[in-house]
Amino acid sequence: MSAPLPVGELVELPLDQFLALYDPKYHDQIKEMLSRDGVSAMVDFYNPDMWSSQRGYRSAVTVGPGCMFKTVEECRGKWLGQSASDRKYAKHYTRRAA
- Grouped pLDDT means (10 residues each) for the chain, 98 residues: 56 95 96 95 82 69 94 88 74 90
Sign, Cα dihedral of 20, 21, 22, 28: negative
Answer for the pair 90, 68: CB distance below 8 angstroms, yes or no. no
C-alpha span between 46 and 13 (Å, rounded):
15
Say how many domains are in the chain: 1
What pTM was computed for the model? Answer: 0.82
Residues spanned by the domain of 59: 11-95
Structural domain includes residue 3: no
33: enclosing H helix or E strand: helix 27-34
Structural domain includes residue 1: no
